[in-house]
Chain A
Amino acid sequence: MKVSIFITCLSDTFYPRTGIAMVKVLEHLGCEVDFPQAQTCCGQPMYNNGFHDESRELAKRMIQVFENSDHVVTPSGSCAAMVRDYYPELFHGDHAWEHDARKFADKTYEFIEYLVKVLKVDLTQLGAKWKGKATYHYSCHLRGIGITNEAEQIIRQIDGLEYVPLEKSEQCCGFGGTFAMKYPDISGTMVRDKVACIAATGAQTVISNDAGCTMNISGSCRREGAGVAFKSLAEIIAESLGLMERHDDYLHPAGQKPRTAIAGCGPIKT
């Protein structure tokens, strides 16, 4: 299987390990992986803020970059949803581009979706092992592409991983791209709610599959003093299959005192 990977701009700069893990897992599963270097960003920030002409130019670029790919896989539900839900709409009325956008949308997959729906992976058969207690954050844009509990299914296939579901898992963490900057108060209150739910699970690792959510929630966990580590599902799988050395980047490692006690963090800012 020939797979082109779409490494989102946030993953490229902020979370390269996610992309690396994704490549290693896909190669391990027998895919021929290709990374078209001319790719940049899908244009979602522009699109969501109403700059549709600018977004359209970026979309055209992406469509051309991946023109010859069979399957396009990305480690972000958000960027996959942009391509799948909004690219065809962006070119509504422009038949040639709309057709190409739809073609691109049809071959674009989010990483978990690709594992479960296309490669039909069963990690128990592959001997996946990972030790520790982890919870999983469901990112909102998975809703848009019809992913519900697929990630949990995969997580439960890993031997030794103690999975604790997150309360209010369907509630947004408050990232929302520029929303976090435009409405810091609301976003801050939302993410503290998420941090409180994470703290309540007692997990040491949070699995979060969208770089935006990870930035937001880990930033809040660090501020509020929650000493957890964040990983993408790709990293967990790569580590569990021994494709990657385990790396636990705890936000507050032993010996470093958090600035605020975890008891002080919660959904409500007083």
Chain B
Amino acid sequence: MNPASLPKSPPPEPKDVHVLPGPTDGSAFTGAAMGQGNITEIHDTNPLDVTLPYHMQPRVEKATHDAQLQQFVNSATLSKDRARKRICLEAFGDNYNRMRELGGRIKQHTLDHLDYYLEQFVTNAAAAGAKVHFAETTDEANGICLDIARKCGAKLCVKSKSMVTEEMHLLPKLESIGVETVETDLGEFILQLDKDAPSHIVQPMIHKDRAATARAFTRELHVEYTEDPGKLCQIARNLLRNKYRQADMGICGGNFLIADTGTVVICTNEGNGRLCTSAPRVLVAFVGIEKLVPSLEHLGVLLKLLARSATGQPLTVYNHFMTGPRRPDEHDGPEEMHIILVDNGRVKTLKEETREMLRCIRCGACLNTCPVYRKIGGHAYGSVYSGPIGAILTPMLKGLGNYPDLPHASSLCGACYEACPVKINIPKFLIQLRRDQIKQKITRWPDRLIYRVWAATLRNSLTYRLGGWMQKWMFRLQARGNGSLGRAGSDPYASRGWLSDAPGPVKSWTRERDMPTPPARSFRQWWDEHEKDKKSKEA
């Protein structure tokens, strides 16, 4: 990617992103709890490697029948969602929406002037001694990383959690050139052992429990079977300590890039990020170009929102700032620091209409609050970004035709918009993507025809009435057949029948629940009588 290819923006005015005073609380850390139960599944292939175009129905069906998956995802997301609401209210009170507004404005401002801030970042990061690379595609990004690994003769790499490297499917590539790469975030470590993939942006193993962890540890690490979280952590810790000592390369992502200092910021709760980035000789940071913020002052606002929205903590436990490699007088840090700035579809999302999507700070709040995500989990979205944000981001980054189902996998309830700390209007984008599917004729023609005929009948009150009347009598005729009609008294505006096995477009409705029939008379019929009554009273 050439930074010169970015859309040109006018010079930014700093007053666009004036910073409010922040919260003053210091609430306690609420750690993630492991669920109970047992999922036995071992994946032959990475659940995020899907054939395109991706159709989600098989995974949806599997997930809606998987009681354990639903139980884990449901309880974990509910508790995180409640924690977010509670702590945001405690910290920001009535200012919560103003904080979200501000967070959104900071990100939007940066995206609006991305060319400016990217240039500033590159200059400052280079001045601090980091080598900055640009990657337009997955292959380019992975290629740069593999080159670095080859040049430094890396044998063992420790990696901290990063969504963008998941997006790149980086690990198999490193393994293919003989670089053993170990995930060091506990959740990611377990998933790697179990040959599984993350299903949540912040809690990657939300779909798994401690029994699955215990089985994976016994199978892969040949340790004694235990479901004790403390013991399991200790096993992982012992193993990882040696890896940190031996690793010659570290890989991390980047939660934020600070333009005016050239700093990469990573936020972790386990401290593994710091060990990955300071112990090995060579460090490679993979970061999407949308992660820029103008200055440390702006970062403060986003750090406060990120931790509270993600886990309900006031601040992430470890916030690690890296400005260039180790200096001569420093005790730790890499000798070489590389930053790979990744496009992979982001630049095309930078057009004015869709730019807002790139505000996302990967807090996962929209996943936690989404009733659909709660029922189907992350793998059903067929991509590394799941939940509401994934439903808009994935089709944008990877092509709408490749993910035709995602924009429809939402009831448009708006909970995601309400939860988003940077105010991304996700429902609006879902609808826009549906509109674009029609424009691009991705929507099948029978569907297009149905909606057009439906709209045409509604454009005239006569056809509207006729349609309503036909629907009523068709439904009531069927209900008469099954004997459910008219059993609840004689009120013609209230008593109705029920269909349990309707044909046609109602078939999929009655597969899951009953369908009420309309009562014998409509509101309009009542209104006509009501009008007559009123007139006769007046007369």
Contact = CB atoms under 8 A, between A and B. Distances in A.
A233 interface: no
Contact of B513 (A37, A52, A219): A219
Nearest to B498: A222
Interface residues of B, number: 77
Contacts of A117: none
B451 interface: yes
**SS of A interface (majority):** helix
Contacts of A16: 493-494, 519, 521-523, 525-526
Interface string B327-365: 000000000000000000000000000000000000000
Interface stretch (B115-123, B210-218, B371-379): B371-379
B86 interface: no
A144 B416 CA distance: 12
B67 A51 contact: no
Contacts of B513: 188, 191, 216, 219-220, 222-223
**SS of B interface (majority):** helix
- Count chain A CB atoms within 10 A of each CB in B412, B448, B506 and give the residue with the most: B412
A96 to B, nearest CB: 20
Interface stretch (A103-111, A125-133, A150-158, A166-174): A166-174
Contacts, number: 213
Contacts of B203: none
Contacts of A216: 513
Interface stretch (B57-65, B104-112, B148-156, B286-294): B57-65
Interface stretch (B159-167, B247-255, B436-444): B436-444
B461 interface: yes
Contacts of A220: 512-514
Interface in B397-430: 408-415, 418, 428
Contact of B60 (A168, A183, A222, A249): A183
Interface in A166-209: 168, 170-172, 174-177, 179-191, 193
A143 interface: yes
Contacts of A12: 468, 522-524
Given A12-B522, A51-B438, A143-B418, A184 B451 contact: no
A123 B495 CA distance: 28
Nearest to A37: B461
B65 A269 contact: yes
Given A54-B455, A58-B459, A190-B371, A184 B512 contact: yes
Contacts of B375: 186, 189-190, 193
Interface of B: 60-61, 64-65, 67, 70-71, 74, 78, 371-372, 374-376, 408-415, 418, 428, 431-438, 443, 448, 451-452, 454-456, 458-461, 464, 468, 471-472, 487-489, 491, 493-496, 498, 500, 505-506, 508-509, 511-516, 518-519, 521-527, 530
Given A188-B511, A215-B515, 19 more contacts: A13-B468, A14-B516, A17-B519, A23-B527, A37-B524, A40-B459, A54-B451, A55-B455, A58-B459, A179-B408, A180-B509, A184-B508, A185-B512, A186-B372, A191-B512, A191-B513, A219-B515, A247-B491, A249-B488
